[in-house]
């Protein structure tokens, strides 16, 4: 993939706050129409990366291009093509859902239909309610609605489903899938690995300001990390074994057990979450990959609003 | 892909969106209970209290020997206080809060021009300040029997003192909004400033009774000049002698307010940012 056909292109992105290195040479491309999940622990640099790409922060060095524009210099024309869902905010919320959406729709040259957006985020019954009177999850849905009202070519979603109940999360996924099918490029950060697995085409894992792995959601972490795990209890002791042929192993164990059932038997196919935890755990055990500075966690970790 | 493939936005959006911002801002203002009380109703409440508490006192007499009531005496000061509260206090607290609670950050991520944001803020101040002045005048006239001026010349003076005062006050509020470090501290930083100004600028205390040095301090700030301009409209000519130098000094009002307006605009241009970038 070359930079010319990428929606987002990042090369050797660095960000320092005084002596603290928040990003230490991150690079990736996101193709048009792709959904890319940026994963990583708190303070790893996810929000710093996404806020540089949104134009909120200046990078210390490296290159970044977003829809063909340097995000540090993006003007209003450029912003009209973006949809940004920030981490939760605490605005006064003195407008109703409908008023707020209709108002923001006016900012954009080709907005979506206000009614359609309200329906898509499931707030039809709450559309005449003041935003400050909504629950946390409902307010978050307003944030998402404001992010898509301008019909963006590129949508940034920074931990969009925090505070959602499981049903709302499924509805939200459905909404994102329909945006994907319309060709919207999406950059997503999330702590819910099932969310990343469900929505993402590719994922990148950031730890300590570095991209420690990148790949399709099915392949990230490598083939070995995907080998199924068989767990059982043998005379009160928890046992586990990784094997590419779990059924054969289970059959052998049953045979050795005189045809009896095995206690506590599980066959686990590592999920994205398992792979992620393994990768981040390995990174941390290795001492953070030899950064010059200690843990790259500026004050307030990666909570965007702290420094905003 | 080069930036030229990004479609240009149509021209003339800033004004249209500014109008849309005014509607949104005014609506939000009246839905915020504390702003309605502490900036909108406050001068009206104070006028009512002073007019009632001192209803038996005479504050002087006009050229025909008619007594000047407490309501007549305090009306110009309360109109001036309204200009300061609706403009400076309101916007300084409002924008500092919006910076802190994420409103500005959200707007900064949209194609809303900064100009439209400011049109919205200044429009909000004009609309709410005008409504406040009208209610003050009606309260004084209907409730306390204050004789309002009948000459067009006086109302013309009122008009320009009001417009220049409210605009200056709004611009200074935008400039001052950069001072509080967080939305929570905004009222604690801003209200003492406006309160002290009201006490030394002839809003609650008769300006002519303040010591000279305090008058000189107040001379430096805009509220004193707004109050003086308002007194020239609503107090009888017999009161002119009590002013500094024995004249209403409307030229001084224009010069002082214009100087503050320009200074405020310069500060806004230099320091206002959608968000505080970290680098």
Looking at the partner chain, which of A56, A68, A103 has a beta carbon nearest the beta carbon of B24? A103
For residue B2, the model assigns a pLDDT of 44
Cβ distance of A89 and B109 shorter than 8 Å: no
Contact status, residue A100 vs residue A142, Cβ threshold 8 Å: yes
Q: Find the DSSP H helices in chain A.
A: 46-54, 76-79, 97-105, 114-120, 136-148, 166-181, 193-199, 246-256, 272-285, 304-307
Whose tokens are 């470090």? That residue is B181
Q: What's the CA gap between B168 and A192, in Å, rounded?
A: 50
Residue-wise pLDDT for A54-77, tens only, equals 999 999 999 999 999 999 998 999
For residue A291, the model assigns a pLDDT of 43
Q: Tell whether A121 is covered by a domain.
A: no
Q: In 10 A of CB A39, how many CB atoms?
A: 28
- Which residues of chain B lie closer than 8 angstroms to A58, CB-CB? 277-279
C-alpha distance from A1 to closest chain B C-alpha (Å): 13
Q: What's the CA gap between A66 and B181, in Å, rounded?
A: 32
Residue A230, classed as helix, strand or coil, is strand
- Which residues of chain A lie closer than 8 angstroms to B112, CB-CB? 76, 107
pTM: 0.86
A214 and A161, same structural domain?
yes
For residue A301, the model assigns a pLDDT of 39
A86 token code pair: 């920030």
Q: In 10 A of CB A63, how many CB atoms?
A: 13
Rounded mean pLDDT of chain A? 87
**Which element (helix H / strand E) includes A66?**
strand A61-66
A49 and A20, same structural domain?
yes
For residue B279, the model assigns a pLDDT of 37
Mean pLDDT of A262-271: 86
For residue A262, the model assigns a pLDDT of 87
Asked if residue A300 has pLDDT above 60, the reply is no
Length of chain A: 308
Residue A164's contacts (CB-CB under 8 Å, 6 or more residues apart) are A137, A140, A141, A172
Q: Does B276 reach chain A within 8 Å, measured CB to CB?
A: yes
Q: In 10 A of CB A190, how many CB atoms?
A: 21
Q: What's the CA gap between B279 and B50, in Å, rounded?
A: 51
A166 and A256, same structural domain?
no
Smallest Cα–Cα separation from A189: which of A43, A79, A11, A16? Answer: A43
Burial (CB count <10 Å: 0-12, 13-18, 19+), residue B159? exposed
Domain boundaries, position A163: 3-81+153-222+272-307
Whose tokens are 């991150």? That residue is A26
Give the domain CATH number at A205: 3.40.50.300
For residue B73, the model assigns a pLDDT of 92
Residues 86 to 125 of B: which have CB under 8 A from any A CB? Answer: 97-98, 101-103, 105-106, 108-113
Smallest Cα–Cα separation from B113: which of B4, B10, B3? Answer: B10
Q: Does A4 reach chain B within 8 Å, measured CB to CB?
A: yes
A215 and A291, same structural domain?
yes
Mean pLDDT of A210-224: 86
Burial (CB count <10 Å: 0-12, 13-18, 19+), residue A120? buried
A84 token code pair: 């940004």
ipTM above 0.85, yes or no: yes
Smallest Cα–Cα separation from B204: which of B75, B87, B92? Answer: B75
Q: What's the CA gap between B186 and A115, in Å, rounded?
A: 37
The residue extents of the domains of chain B are 13-53+65-271
Residue-wise pLDDT for A165-176, tens only, equals 888 888 889 999
Cβ distance of A78 and B6 shorter than 8 Å: yes
- Which residues of chain B lie closer than 8 angstroms to A95, CB-CB? 24, 27-28, 31
pLDDT tens-place values along chain B, 279 residues long = 444 468 888 888 999 999 999 999 999 999 988 778 888 999 999 999 999 998 888 888 777 877 888 999 999 999 999 999 999 999 999 999 999 898 999 999 999 999 999 999 999 999 999 999 999 999 999 999 899 999 999 999 999 999 999 999 999 999 999 888 888 889 899 999 999 999 999 899 888 889 999 999 999 999 999 999 999 999 988 888 888 888 899 999 999 999 999 999 999 988 887 776 643
Q: Tell whether A101 is covered by a domain.
A: no
For residue A226, the model assigns a pLDDT of 81
**DSSP secondary structure of A86-155:** PSP------SBHHHHHHHHHTTSSSPPPHHHHHHHTT-GGGTTSBGGGS-HHHHHHHHHHHHHTT--SEE
A17 and A61, same structural domain?
yes
- Optimal mutation site among B24, B27, B109, interface A, most CBs of chain A within 10 A: B109
Q: What's the CA gap between B275 and B178, in Å, rounded?
A: 11
Q: What are phi and psi of A156, to 5 degrees?
A: -100, 125
For residue B79, the model assigns a pLDDT of 97
For residue A223, the model assigns a pLDDT of 78
Q: Tell whether A138 is covered by a domain.
A: no
Sheet holding A154-158, edge to edge: A82-85, A154-158, A185-189, A35-39, A202-207, A210-216
Cβ distance of A91 and B20 shorter than 8 Å: no
Q: Please state whether beta strands A6-17 and A20-31 pair in parallel, antiparallel, or not at all (unpaired).
A: antiparallel
Q: Does A152 reach chain B within 8 Å, measured CB to CB?
A: no
Q: In 10 A of CB B194, how many CB atoms?
A: 22
Q: Does B63 reach chain A within 8 Å, measured CB to CB?
A: no
Q: In which region does residue A295 sit, left (phi positive, over 0), alpha (psi from -120 to 50) or beta (all else)?
A: beta
Cβ distance of B3 and A95 shorter than 8 Å: no
Lowest mean pLDDT among A32-41, A207-216, B60-69, B168-177: B60-69
Distances (CA, A) of B178 to A41, B100, B274: 34, 11, 11
Looking at the partner chain, which of B110, B275, B277 has a beta carbon nearest the beta carbon of A79? B110
Q: What's the CA gap between A36 and A156, in Å, rounded?
A: 10
Asked if residue A296 has pLDDT above 80, the reply is no
Number of inter-chain CB pairs under 8 A, A vs B: 106
Distances (CA, A) of A214 to A27, A154, A155, A220: 10, 20, 20, 6
Contact status, residue A210 vs residue A25, Cβ threshold 8 Å: yes
A261 and A195, same structural domain?
no
pLDDT band, very low/low/confident/very high, at A4 (cuts 50, 70, 90)? low
For residue B19, the model assigns a pLDDT of 95
pLDDT band, very low/low/confident/very high, at A50 (cuts 50, 70, 90)? very high
Q: What's the CA gap between A169 and A123, in Å, rounded?
A: 14
- Which residues of chain B lie closer than 8 angstroms to A51, CB-CB? none
B117 token code pair: 């944001």
Whose tokens are 């950060």? That residue is A189
Number of domains in chain A: 2
A238 and A295, same structural domain?
no
B108 token code pair: 């900064």
- Which residues of chain B lie closer than 8 angstroms to A5, CB-CB? 1
C-alpha distance from A64 to closest chain B C-alpha (Å): 13
Q: Does A61 reach chain B within 8 Å, measured CB to CB?
A: no
Looking at the partner chain, which of B9, B16, B105 has a beta carbon nearest the beta carbon of A109? B9
Residue B93, classed as helix, strand or coil, is helix
């Amino acid at each position: 993939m070359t930079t010319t056909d990428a929606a987002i292109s990042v090369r050797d992105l660095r960000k320092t706050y005084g002596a603290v290195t928040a990003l230490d040479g991150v690079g990736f491309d996101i193709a048009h129409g792709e959904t890319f999940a940026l994963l990583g622990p708190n303070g790893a640099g996810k929000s710093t990366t996404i806020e540089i790409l949104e134009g909120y922060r200046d990078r210390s060095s490296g290159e970044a291009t977003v829809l063909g524009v340097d995000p540090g210099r993006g003007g209003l024309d450029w912003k009209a093509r973006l949809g940004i869902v920030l981490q939760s905010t605490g605005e006064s919320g003195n407008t109703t859902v409908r008023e707020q959406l209709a108002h923001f729709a006016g900012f954009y040259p080709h907005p979506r239909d206000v009614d359609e957006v309200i329906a898509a985020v499931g707030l039809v019954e709450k559309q005449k309610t003041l935003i400050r009177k909504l629950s946390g999850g409902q307010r978050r849905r307003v944030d998402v609605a404001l992010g898509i009202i301008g019909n963006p070519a590129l949508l940034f979603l920074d931990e969009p489903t925090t505070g959602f109940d499981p049903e709302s999360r499924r509805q939200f996924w459905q909404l994102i899938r329909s945006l994907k099918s319309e060709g919207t490029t999406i950059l997503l950060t999330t702590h819910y690995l099932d969310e990343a697995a469900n929505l993402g085409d590719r994922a990148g894992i950031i730890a300590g300001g570095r991209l420690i792995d990148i790949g399709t959601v099915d392949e990230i972490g490598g083939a070995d990390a995907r080998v199924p795990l068989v767990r059982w209890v043998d005379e009160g002791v928890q046992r586990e074994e990784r094997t590419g042929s779990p059924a054969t192993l289970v059959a052998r164990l049953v045979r050795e057990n005189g045809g009896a059932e095995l206690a506590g038997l599980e066959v686990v196919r590592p999920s994205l979450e398992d792979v992620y935890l393994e990768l981040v755990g390995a990174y941390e055990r290795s001492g953070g990959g030899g950064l010059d500075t200690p843990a790259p966690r500026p004050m307030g970790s990666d909570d965007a609003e702290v420094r905003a | 892909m080069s930036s030229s493939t990004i479609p240009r936005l149509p021209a003339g959006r800033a004004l249209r969106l500014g109008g849309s911002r005014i509607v949104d801002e005014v609506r939000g203002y009246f839905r915020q209970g504390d702003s309605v009380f502490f900036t909108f109703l406050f001068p009206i409440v104070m006028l009512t209290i002073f007019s009632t508490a001192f209803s038996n006192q005479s504050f002087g007499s006009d050229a025909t020997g008619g007594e000047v009531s407490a309501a007549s005496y305090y009306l110009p000061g309360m109109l001036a206080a309204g200009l300061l509260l609706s403009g400076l206090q309101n916007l300084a607290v409002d924008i500092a809060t919006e910076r802190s609670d994420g409103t500005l950050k959200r707007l900064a991520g949209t194609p809303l021009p900064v100009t439209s944001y400011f049109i919205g803020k200044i429009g909000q101040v004009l609309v709410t300040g005008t409504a406040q002045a009208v209610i003050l005048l009606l309260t004084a006239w209907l409730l306390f029997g204050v004789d309002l001026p009948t000459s067009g010349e006086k109302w013309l003076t009122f008009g320009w003192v009001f417009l220049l005062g409210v605009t200056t006050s709004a611009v200074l509020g935008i400039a001052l909004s950069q001072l509080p470090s967080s939305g929570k501290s905004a009222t604690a930083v801003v209200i003492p400033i406006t309160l002290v100004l009201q006490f030394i600028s002839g809003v609650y205390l008769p300006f002519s009774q303040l010591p000279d040095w305090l008058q000189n301090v107040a001379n430096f700030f805009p509220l004193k000049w707004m109050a003086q301009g308002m007194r020239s409209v609503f107090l009888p000519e017999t009161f002119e002698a009590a002013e500094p130098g024995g004249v209403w000094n409307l030229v001084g009002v224009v010069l002082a307010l214009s100087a503050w307006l320009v200074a405020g605009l310069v500060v806004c241009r230099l320091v206002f940012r959608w968000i505080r970038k970290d680098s």
